[in-house]
Structures are given as structure tokens and as C-alpha cells.
Amino acid sequence: MATAIAYLHTAFPRPFVYRSFSAGNILLDEDGVAKLTGFYFCVSIPQGETFVKVDVLAGTLGYMDEKYHRNLVVSEETDVFAFGMLMLRFLMGDIFYKYRNWKYDDDEEGEADDDNKSYHSAAMSEINDQIRQFSEETDSEAVGEGRGDDDDDSATMFKFIEEQRMEEIADQEMIEKTGEISEEELSQMKAFKMLSLRCVGHKGEIPTMVEVTKELEKIQRSLNIADSSSPFPSGESQLNFAQDMSSTVVLSNQTTNT
């Protein structure tokens, strides 16, 4: 998916911003390969500019950065933010909703089924108390002095996620299926989390989608090198960038007719 978004940002004279990226726009083919679909809301950035202002919002609340959500300003960072939120969802599983819904109501997340909503509601009180207590103990300058309440809420949430131990935020179903987690796998998960926090603007400079793609490749390769059963020889790249980009977006023409 990072490859597909990077393709939209770099393959054309005027970059295209997907702007409605979330898990609901990802399909798996018969081989389990992820394909990006639904290009209805793509917008192009005018030549020589770094952003474009749109008339209406499109996408899922919680996956929108503040510039887009509040001011309708779309840039490549709009997609980077949404991708960072999706990374957190993949890493955290159902726990992700408890953190995300601290700011947004359950009924704004159209992808959650009734069972998940019941789960989220039952956990809301606990997570609210934890984050509020954390917020009270955190210096205001550290979470964004001089910004709006929404910005402060987001900064507090991301800092809370950053400082939690991996076993407290990782998807428990994933942990159970994986079994005992090796040190290499734990390091991979930590690197994945830190990259997601960079994508949402919490940690360091916001990367481009090409940089995100390369970082994810490094994270994956680091575990493959440690895994003797890996089909990739040590040091061999898994990413043929141009080939992977074209194959990742090909399904869009079949599903959207755009």
C-alpha cells in the first residue's frame, strides 16, 4: 500500500493525493496481495505547488490530518498521515479503536461492526481515564503549546502510544497467533510503531511516501535476514519499486472504471 500511494505521488507530472485512504479501500486478491481501490476522491496538486484546497472532505474521520480536516488543505502529507494511522491499526488491532475513539465517537468509524463497537464502548472508560491521567502528568509544552484543542488531543494520544510498552498496545490476537516473540520481532514492531508516529507528525520530520516505502522494506528485510527460512537472500531487496507500484494499482481500473 505504501508503494501504491508513493506511485500516485511520484509517477505523474502533477502528484495525485489519494486523500481517502483507510483499511476499507484495500482488497486482497486470490494470492493475498493487497490492492488499492476506489480512486474517486483523488486530487492532483497544481504544478509548482505543494498543496491544493478542496471544497469538501472525503475519507474516514480519524485518518485525516488536521490541515485537511479543519481547513480542507490537501497535500502529500494528507496521505502520509492516513497511512500512519493505518499502520497503528495494523499494529494495535482492536486496541487501536480504544485510542482513536478517545477523540472520535464510535459511530464515526464506519468499518467497525457491532461486536467491535460493543468491545470499544466497554473499554472507553478505562482508556479515557488512562489518557486523561497521562495528559495531566505531561507538561503542556511537550504536547503542543499554542495549538488548538484538537491538536493537543492528538499530541497527547500519540505521546501516550509512544511511551506505552509494546505488550500493552500490540494486537493481542496477533501476539497469540505468533506465540513467543523474538527480540528481532520485537525490534521490528518498535520500528514499525516509530515509523507510524513519524507519519502522523508526532516524531521527527514527516517522511515522504517513497521514504516510508523504503523504511518498511528495511524493517521487513531486517527480520528476513534473521529468519533462515526467508526466501530472500541476505541483503537482497524485496522491492522492485516500479514493478510493484504498477501491479499494486492495476486493480483500480477494474473496480472504479476511472
Examine residue 112 and state whether it is found in any structural domain, yes or no.
Answer: no
The verdict on residue 198 lying in a domain is yes
121 in a structural domain: no
Query: Within 10 A of 25 (CB to CB), how many other CB atoms are there?
Result: 22
Q: Helix or strand or coil: residue 140?
A: helix
List of E strands, the chain: 16-17, 26-28, 34-36, 43-44, 51-53, 73-75
- pLDDT tens track for 167-189: 778 888 887 877 777 888 888 88
| Predicted local distance difference test score (pLDDT) of residue 137 | 57
Residue 27 lies in a domain: yes
pTM for the whole structure: 0.71
Q: Is the pLDDT assigned to residue 139 strictly greater than 70?
A: no
- To the nearest whole number, what is the mean pLDDT of the chain? 75
- For cell 457491532, the residue is 114
In a domain, 14, yes or no: yes
| Domain assignment present for 257 | no
55 pLDDT higher than 70 = yes
Q: C-alpha angle 24/116/59, rounded to 5°?
A: 30
* Measured distance CA(110)–CA(225) in Å, rounded: 39
Query: In which band, very low, low, confident or very high, does the pLDDT at 153 lie, cut at 50, 70 and 90?
Result: low
Q: Which domain holds residue 4?
A: 1-102+154-225
The helix/strand/coil state of 135 is helix
Locus of grid cell 541476505? 234
State how many domains the chain has. Answer: 1
218-222 average pLDDT score: 86
**Contact between 198 and 84 (Cβ < 8 Å):** yes
Q: Which amino acid is at 125?
A: S
Of 24-33, 100-109, 165-174, 207-216, the one with minimum mean pLDDT is 100-109
Distances (CA, A) of 43 to 37, 57, 75, 213: 15, 12, 9, 21
Tell me the pLDDT tens digit for each residue of 229-250. Answer: 444 343 443 344 444 544 444 4
Residue 186 inside a domain? The answer is yes
What confidence tier does 118 reach under pLDDT thresholds 50, 70, 90?
Answer: very low
Query: Which domain CATH number covers 208?
Result: 1.10.510.10
Asked whether residue 128 is assigned to any structural domain, the reply reads no
